[in-house]
Amino acid sequence: MRLECIDNVREMEVLGKSILSDDGQILLKSGVVLTDRYLKKLKTLGVYYIYVEDERLEDVKVEDTELTELKQCAIKSLSRVAKNVSLNGEREVKDSIEKVKSLVEYILDNKDVDKSLNDIKTYDNYTYVHCLDTSIMATFLAASLNINKDKIKELATGAVLHDVGKTKISNKIINKTGKLTEEEFKEIRKHPIYGRDILEKKFYMSDIILKTVSEHHERVDGKGYPYGLKGNNISKYGRIVAICDVYDAVSSDRCYRRRFSPSEAYELILAGSGNAFDEDMIMKFRNTFSVYPLGAKIRLSNGIEGYVSGQNKGYPDRPIIRVFDDYNKSSYKEIDLLKCTNVTVKGLS
């Protein structure tokens, strides 16, 4: 399976990974033949990259049917929460929490980061998929920090609800494409407080969830918001989600900007080590997440192009690359960048 820029996908190729809608339904199911109509529709939804089946990379698998079903359930419940949170929808919120905990349980039992992340975000489903991916990243990062399973479930719940406070802010501000006014920016910066208030007063959430929601924009140098907390005065849960929230956000296309490249997003996080983000957690981040997803086509410094077929744990920017013979597509060689130290990745191809 390969990850391909949608402009390079040809008609009659086959979708390799399902795309979810904003209410948890399958917008396009893996295995569907991509017609011109489907491709045009995906472009109008703001989709720039999709997974397509490729017999040359049939051993590179990123779709997990059971995981997709769990994500569907979580997104459906998140959609209901967003619509009912201001109406004291206690049942919907509790249902969402149970769905998230089931998802976390599955992820912790399987621990396959390559299949768990890199879901396709559209303009419509961005909010829910972003919250879910942030939660999944936080789960993996917390596991690498040896946090116990019960606390990870609480953290993951807080992560998936981290932006619930935005339901108290006007959509005109949330969806504004131009520069925010000073007053609008002040209002946006209140959403962690709004979120904590909603969850504490209406739904009696745990302290871990409340800290995760209220502190996900705090920074270890004290330059975050809403409280300007510094260092260890920020809970470890807030520090974990701060990293995951930023990384997933900048890796996604938004109505007001294009996504960062994988290397740019990674460098942004690493550059924040010790100032914006917890230094020890960034070291764990490096050992947990890879820069380039499986199936992505990349260009090397020696001019060679190939597809990511494997990862080297602890070396996020040194994957294993599969390079095909131009004259015989079934013939290929593997380049392990951990062993070829004189070659670097220049970027996506």
The two three-digit tokens of residue 276, written as one number: 């914006």
23-27, 71-75, 95-99, 338-342, range with greatest mean pLDDT: 338-342
Q: Regarding predicted confidence, which is higher, 97 or 258?
A: 97
Mean pLDDT, range 56-73, rounded to an integer: 86
pTM: 0.90
CA atoms of 299 and 321, how far apart (whole Å) = 10
Mean pLDDT, range 217-242, rounded to an integer: 97
Digit-coded pLDDT (tens) for 116-166: 777 777 777 788 888 899 999 999 999 999 999 999 999 999 999 999 899
Mean pLDDT, range 299-328, rounded to an integer: 89
Q: Regarding predicted confidence, which is higher, 112 or 12?
A: 12
- DSSP lists the bridge partners of residue 333 as 323
CA atoms of 330 and 55, how far apart (whole Å) = 9
Residue 140 and residue 244 in contact, taking contact as beta carbons nearer than 8 Å: no
Quick one: how far is CA 89 from the chain centroid? 27
Report long-range pairs for 35-43 (Cβ below 8 Å, ≥24 apart). Answer: 35/11, 36/11, 39/6, 39/9, 39/11, 42/6, 42/122, 43/6
State the helix-helix crossing angle for 126-144 and 279-288, rounded to 10 degrees: 100
Least confident of 40-49, 60-69, 251-260: 251-260
Residues in Cβ contact with 112 at an 8 Å cutoff, skipping those fewer than 6 apart: 64
Give CA angle at 309 (305, 313), nearest 5°. 115
Quick one: how far is CA 164 from the chain centroid? 17
pLDDT at 301: 94
Closest by CA to 275, choosing from 239, 250, 315, 235, is 239
The sign of the dihedral angle between the CA atoms of 109, 241, 20, 16 is negative
Q: What are phi and psi of 314, to 5 degrees?
A: 90, -10
The two three-digit tokens of residue 229, written as one number: 């907390």
Digit-coded pLDDT (tens) for 158-209: 999 999 899 889 888 988 878 889 999 999 999 999 999 988 887 888 999 9
pLDDT band at residue 257, thresholds of 50, 70 and 90? Answer: low
Closest by CA to 267, choosing from 256, 276, 258, is 276
Helix (H, G, I), strand (E, B) or coil at 178: coil
First to last CA, the chain: 16
Considering the chain, what percentage of its residues have pLDDT values greater than 90? 55
pLDDT at 297: 92
pLDDT band at residue 85, thresholds of 50, 70 and 90? Answer: low
- Cα radius of gyration (the chain): 20
pLDDT at 254: 60
| Residues constituting the chain | 349
Q: How many CB atoms lie within 10 A of CB 116?
A: 21
pLDDT band at residue 217, thresholds of 50, 70 and 90? Answer: very high
Closest by CA to 77, choosing from 91, 65, 95, 89, is 95
Mean of the per-residue pLDDT values for the chain?
88
Q: Regarding predicted confidence, which is higher, 181 or 80?
A: 181
Mean pLDDT, range 75-85, rounded to an integer: 74
CA dihedral 265, 271, 274, 275 (to 10 degrees): -90
The two three-digit tokens of residue 152, written as one number: 């990870």
